[in-house]
Structure 1
Amino acid sequence: MASDNPVLCPSAQPEWPGAQAIGVMAGTADKPEMAYLNAPQPVTGQLLEMAGSVSPAEVFRFSAPCACKGCGHYVEGESRCRLAEKVVRLMPTVTEQLPVCAIRSECRWWRQEGRAACFRCPQVVTNNLKPTEEMRLAADYSVL
């Protein structure tokens, strides 16, 4: 994994250092689906204002350098993300083709879980106010 580029978390918060928008959430609250951006966009005040009265992480998906041991999903000794594992294990696939993704080569989920993560990624909403039971379990730090 020797690279000048950091490994990126595909479900980051906009205030994280190095955050960039990678998609816009579309679909419905019951069936969200990310529309991937052609290229990551910098997080600016103007971008964040586009979310209106809701949290930007409800409207956009952000990537940022993986926080590693600063994240409750990260298993330090094994350099892996439990969230990626649980998304693959618990959530259904929502596509049979790899989405066109601008961060795939640096994405922690891709590097760790491969295609299986990409087949589930479009439904992940970082700040989801109406998660499915599977997504709630995947996001819960205490669930292994």
Structure 2
Amino acid sequence: MTDPVGRPDPPERMCPSTPAANATVFLGMITPAGRVAYLTPQLPAEVALATQAASDTPVESRYRLAGPCVTARCGFWTGEHCGLGERLVASYQETAGAPETTLPRCAIRRTCRWYAEQGAAACAACSHVVTDAY
């Protein structure tokens, strides 16, 4: 599809930290150190969600899931961009200093909302995020 000027539509932006109810992609596993071990190539969210019945902990505390960015239906949406991605990058840069130069392998980077808005700094912060499911 194209706009009236003939440019292609931008790709659908993905939230790299979505709750299970909105998940379409199994992005990674949370390691014991609290970091995300990314899965590539991407897997459907159903792979992670299938383990939910066998555990008493929320799936989001064990796995990182991604799904379509819901913009105005999200409490972090500022009206123009993702406020969570912005806050994560600012907080991470305060504590970690310079961003890592090698980006992790990520299955959604091309469509990631945080990466589109915050650049490579979002990738460094992203690997430390565990989605709050409570």
Give the TM-score category using the shorter length: 0.7 to 0.9
The structure in which a higher percent of residues are strand is: 1
Taking every aligned residue pair, what percent have the same amino acid on both sides? Answer: 30
- The list of structure 1 runs, each at least 4 consecutive aligned residues, that deviate by more than 3 angstroms after superposition, is 1-5, 92-96
Deviations 1:73-122 (A, max 9, x none): 1122x2x1000000011124484420110100100000000011111111
Q: Which runs of 5+ in 1 are unaligned?
A: 130-144
Other-structure match for 1:50: 51
**Aligned partner (choices 11, 14, 18) of residue 12 of structure 1:** 18
Q: Contact 1:19 / 1:64 at 8 angstroms: preserved in 2?
A: yes
Deviation at 1:128, TM superposition (A): 7.0
| TM-score for both structures, normalised by structure 1 | 0.75
Other-structure match for 1:34: 36
- How many residues matched? 122
Q: Which runs of 5+ in 2 are unaligned?
A: 1-6
Query: In 2, distance between residues paired with 1:125 and 1:95?
Result: 19
Which amino acid counterpart does residue 37 of structure 1 have in structure 2?
A: L
- The CA RMSD measured in Å over matched residues stands at 2.2
**Aligned partner (choices 51, 69, 73) of residue 70 of structure 1:** 73
| TM-score for both structures, normalised by structure 2 | 0.80
Q: Contact 2:48 / 2:63 at 8 angstroms: preserved in 1?
A: no
